[in-house]
Structure 1
Amino acid sequence: MKRISSAVLCGLLLLAATAQAAEVRDVRFWRAPDHSRVVFDLSGPVEHELITLDSPDRLVIDIQASTLGSDTSKLEFANSPITRLRHAEKPNGALRLVFDLSNAVQVRSFLLAASGDLHDRLVVDFLDKGESTGASASPSKSAPKVVKSLENSSHRDVVIAIDAGHGGEDPGAIGPGRVREKDVVYKIALRLKERFERKKGYRVVMIRDGDYYVGLAKRRDLARKAQADFFVSIHADAFTNPSANGSSVYALSKRGATSASARILAQRENEADLVGGVSLSDKDQVLAGVLTDLSMTATLDASLSVGSQLLGEMGKISRLHSKRVEQAGFAVLKSPDIPSLLVETGFISNPHESSKLKTASYQAQMAQAIYEGIDRYFRESPPPDTYFAAVKRGDISPARGSTPTGGAREYIIANGDTLSGIAHRYNVPLRDLQRHNQLSGSDIRVGQKIQIPAS
Structure 2
Amino acid sequence: MSKLIHSLVIFCLLLLAPQSVAGEKIDGIRIWPAPDSTRVVLDLSGPAEYTYFELKNPQRLVIDLKNTKLSTSLDGLADDAKVLTNVRKSTPKSKGSTRLVLDLSQNVNPMLFALVPAGPYGHRLVVDLFNAEEKVQQAKRKIETDRDIVIAIDAGHGGEDPGSIGRAGTYEKHVTLKLAKKIESLINKENGMRAIMTRTGDYYIDLNKRTKKARDAKADLLISVHADAFTSPGPNGASVWVQSNRRATTEVGRSLERREEYGQLLGGVSEALKDTNTEKYLARTFIDLSMDHSRDQGFTVANTVLGELKKITKLHQRKPQSASLGVLKSPDIPSILVEGGFISNPREEKMLTNAWQQNRLAKAIVNAVKTHFKKRPPDGTRYAKLHKVLKHKVRSGESLSLVAQNYKVSVSSIKAANRLKNDMIKVGQVLSIPQS
Task: Please identify, of 284-293 and 380-389, the stretch whose mean Cα deviation from structure 2 is larger.
Answer: 284-293
1:366 alignment partner, one of 345, 361, 367: 361
- In 2 relative to 1, CA 252–81 (structure 1 residues): closer, same or farther, beyond 3 Å? same
Count of aligned positions: 394
Q: Distance in 2 between matches of 1:92 and 1:43?
A: 19
Describe the superposition over 1:386-438 as per-residue Cα deviations: whole angstroms up to 9, x where unpaired: 1222234479xxxxxxxxxx9999xxxxxxxxxx9xx989958789xxxxxxx
| Equivalences for residues 270-289 of structure 1 within 5 A | 270-279=261-270, 280-281=272-273, 282=276, 283-289=278-284
- Which structure shows the bigger proportion of residues in helix conformation? 2
State how 1:152-171 maps to structure 2 within 5 Å: 154-171=145-162
Equivalent residue number for residue 40 of structure 1: 42
- What is aligned with 2:224? 233
Relative distance call for 1:176 and 1:16 in structure 2 (3 A) is closer
- Residues 98-141 of structure 1, C-alpha deviation per residue, up to 9 Å, x if partnerless? 1223344332212223345542211112222435xxxxxxxx93
What is the RMSD of the two structures over their aligned residues, measured on CA atoms? Answer: 3.2
Matches within 5 A, 1:125-140: 125-130=128-133
C-alpha distance in 2 between matches for 1:408 and 1:173: 46
Alpha carbons of 1:230 and 1:183: their partners in 2 closer, same or farther (altered >3 Å)? same
How much does 1:12 deviate?
A: 6.5
Deviation at 1:13, TM superposition (A): 8.0
100, 107, 111: which one aligns with 2:110? 107
Q: Are residues 1:306 and 2:309 paired?
A: no
Unaligned runs of 5+ residues in structure 1 are 132-139, 144-152, 396-405, 410-419, 432-452
Which residue pairs with 1:416 in the alignment?
none
1:60 CA drift (Å) = 1.1
Normalised TM-score (structure 1): 0.78
Contact 2:351 2:357 in 1 (8 A): yes
1:263 aligns with 2:278: no
**Cα shift at 1:170:** 1.3
Quote the Cα distance in structure 2 between the aligned partners of 1:347 and 1:110: 33
Q: 1:277 to 1:296 in 2, by over 3 A?
A: closer
Q: Displacement, 1:9?
A: 11
Question: Which residue does 2:238 correspond to in 1?
Answer: 247
Out of 6, 22, 25, the residue aligned to residue 23 of structure 1 is 25
Partner of 1:174: 165
Q: Contact (CA 8 Å) 2:78, 2:87: kept in 1 or not?
A: no
**Correspondent of 1:65 among 41, 64, 67:** 67
How many Å separate the matches in 2 of 1:178 and 1:188? 18
Q: Which amino acid aligns with 2:69?
A: T
* Aligned partner letter, 1:244: P
Partner of 1:349: 344
CA deviation vs aligned residue, 1:209-262 (integer Å, no higher than 9, x gap): 111010111111111121111111000112222121100000010122222211
Which of these residues, 177, 202, 214, is aligned with residue 186 of structure 1? 177
Q: How does 1:83-98 map to 2 (within 5 A)?
A: 83-88=85-90, 90-98=93-101
- SS of 1:159 mapped into structure 2: strand
- 8 A contact 1:314–1:320 mirrored in 2: yes
Structure 1 pair 56/156, CA: closer, same or farther in 2 (3 Å)?
closer
Once residues 310 and 264 of structure 1 are traced to their aligned partners in structure 2, the CA distance between those partners, rounded to angstroms, is: 22
- Aligned AA (1:308): N
Which residue does the alignment assign to 1:150?
A: none
SS class of match (1:288): helix
SS in 1 for 2:280: coil
CA contact (8 A) 2:176 2:226 kept: yes
CA distance in structure 2 between the aligned counterparts of 1:408 and 1:8, rounded to whole angstroms: 95
> Structure 1 counterpart of 2:246, which letter?
R
The answer to whether the 8 Å contact 1:17/1:65 transfers is no
- SS of the residue aligned with 2:202? coil
> Do structure 1's residue 329 and structure 2's residue 332 form an aligned pair?
no
Return the letter of the residue paired with 2:111.
R
User: Residues 42, 425 of structure 1: CA spacing in aligned structure 2 closer, same or farther, 3 A cutoff?
Assistant: farther
Provide the rounded CA distance (Å) in 1 between the counterparts of 2:13 and 2:146. Answer: 79
Is the 8 Å Cα contact of residues 65 and 95 (structure 1) preserved in structure 2? yes
For residues 339 and 90 of structure 1, do their structure 2 counterparts lie closer, same or farther at Cα, with a shift above 3 Å needed? same
SS in 2 for 1:377: helix
Contact 1:169 1:277 in 2 (8 A): no
